[in-house]
Amino acid sequence: MQNTSNVIESLSLTNLPIGADARVVSVNGEGRVIRRLLEMGVIPGVSVKVIKTAPFGDPIEVRVRGYSLAMRKNEADSIEVSI
């Protein structure tokens, strides 16, 4: 899905700096992982924030809809956000 504004840059959730407030632009792809992300409330328009990464760099902890969600980086890759 394209973002409509040229000024707002979008990046993947994996690259979102820790602590930055962002909004989900799109969740790209198909399959169980995508479906699960959506069902857990990670859908376009929702605000999201990366809290931390685990000791070995993976998984990451994300704050969304008022709760904490952990996911692997390769799962976070499919989530496009904008700050």
Partner 1 sequence: MDTTSAKPGIKHQLTIALAGNPNAGKTTLFNSLTGLKQKVANYPGVTVERKQGAWQLNGSAATLIDLPGLYSLDATSMDERIARDVITGQISGVKKPDAIIAVVDATNLERNLYLVTQLFEFGVPVVVALTMIDAFEKQKHEIDIAKFSELLGVPVVAVNAKSGRGRDELSETIHSVLAKQPKIPFELNGASENGGPHGKIFARYNFISDVVQETVKHNDRREHKLSEKIDRVLTHKIFGLLILIGVLLFVFQTIFSWASLPMDLLDQGFGAIGDFVRAEMPPGILTDLVVDGIIAGVGGVLVFLPQILLLFLFISLLEDTGYMARAAFLMDKLMSRVGLHGKAFLPLMSSFACAIPGIMATRTIENRRDRFATILIAPFMSCSARLPVYTLMIAAFFAGKTVLGFVSLAAVLMLSMYALGMLVAVAVAFILKRTILKAPPPPFIMELPPYRVPNFRTVFQNMLTRAWLFVKRAGTVILTISIILWALMYFPRSGQTTAVSEAESVSKQTQTDISSQDIGSKDQSPNTEVQSESDQLKHSFAGTLGHVIEPAIRPLGFDWKVGVALIASFAAREVLVSTLSIIYNVGKDENEQSQTLISAIKDAKTDDGAPAWTPLKALTLMVFFVLAMQCMSTLAIVRRETNSWRWPIFMTVYMTGLAYVAAMLTYQGGTLLGFQ
Rounding to the nearest 10 degrees, give the CA dihedral for residues 54, 21, 17, 6.
Answer: 140
69 interacts with partner 1 by CB under 8 A: yes
Site membership for partner 1, residue 65 (CB under 8 A): yes
Can you tell me which of 19, 35, 47, 83 binds partner 1, judged by CB under 8 A?
Answer: 35
Please give the biggest Cα pair distance in the chain. Answer: 37
Query: Is 58 an interacting residue with respect to partner 1 (CB under 8 A)?
Result: yes
Is residue 56 a contact point for partner 1 (CB under 8 A)? yes
Here the tokens at position 57 are 């760099």
> Measured between alpha carbons, how far is 80 from 7 in angstroms, rounded to an integer?
15
Site of interaction with partner 1 (CB under 8 A):
30-41, 43-44, 46, 51-52, 54-59, 61, 65-72, 75
